[in-house]
Amino acid sequence: PYSFGDLGPQLLAKVKAAAIAKLQKPDTTPDRPVVRRAARRPAPPAATTPPPSLSPAPGSSPPFASASASPFSPFGSRSPLAGPGAGAGSRSPLPARFAAARRLIVLGASTGGTEALRQVLTQLPDNLPPIAIVQHIPATFSRTFAERLNTLCNFEVREAVDGEALVPGLALVAPGNYHLLVHWTAAGYRVTVTDGPQVWHQRPAVDLLFKSAAEAAGRHAIAGVLTGMGKDGAEGLLRLRNAGAVTFAQDEASSVVYGMPRAAWELGAAQHQLSLYSMSDFIVRAAAEEPAASSVHAPA
């Protein structure tokens, strides 16, 4: 339960968010995906020719190997729905070897995030690496949110339970009023659900998930900050980037509130700034690439 002292800053933040939120839905059919490359902290070189839709800024290294070097193209034909649990416009599945890799996807969002996450997750295939999600949401709604996503996505989505395994083909959503952390064990990824202190006046906090992912997955992680007010997630995303992870933030044009993504971008934590509508293709392509070379800060 929240005390009055806990609710005060959150109520103030929600009022501010409501004042600056975009009330009109952004255009869902842009002419082309919008991707910006960070000018600082360039990602480690991966190849000499970037994919056409992820062209880097002049002088910066490409985000991933060329499309022709990958055995999988996320921009191929869209597969038909496989049933009531299949998301609309689902992609062809990834090769089996990627489902068994140590890759991990972590996402964080706040104001406007429930719809943004729905947009991204329903466009992903069913055998991606495991996904851990922190959405700032009241405890009474987190389970319903996860259950709704489960009916729409190509993979299983559920509210996280302390100690459970996080495996390929599964997305776990942090329960409202509880932090979500990930750990690497001999048996693979497992999650911890805890009611520790709030971070940035939030529980769950994106920063705690991201910092745990930096320790557990390091260069194997793919991490993104989506729409939301405040700075939660920026520090954790920077730690992930320094560990060799692929990192991104949602762009201003497609964000309901460009607060958390702006903080991550300005801190230099995000390698890429993406439109919401190019995000799913970006995640799929990142998952299909080998992780960057290991560093002293990143798990092997």
Residues marked active site are found at: 110, 136, 232
How many angstroms separate the CA atoms of 113 and 105, rounded?
16
Contact 287, 105 (CB under 8 A): yes
Residues in contact with 296: Cβ distance below 8 Å, sequence separation at least 6, in sequence order: none
How many angstroms separate the CA atoms of 150 and 236, rounded?
27
User: CA-based angle 99:114:199, to the nearest 5?
Assistant: 90
Both tokens of 199, joined, read: 């971070």
Q: By CB neighbour count within 10 A (0-12 exposed, 13-18 middle, 19+ buried), where does 121 fall? A: buried
DSSP letter (8 states) at residue 220: G
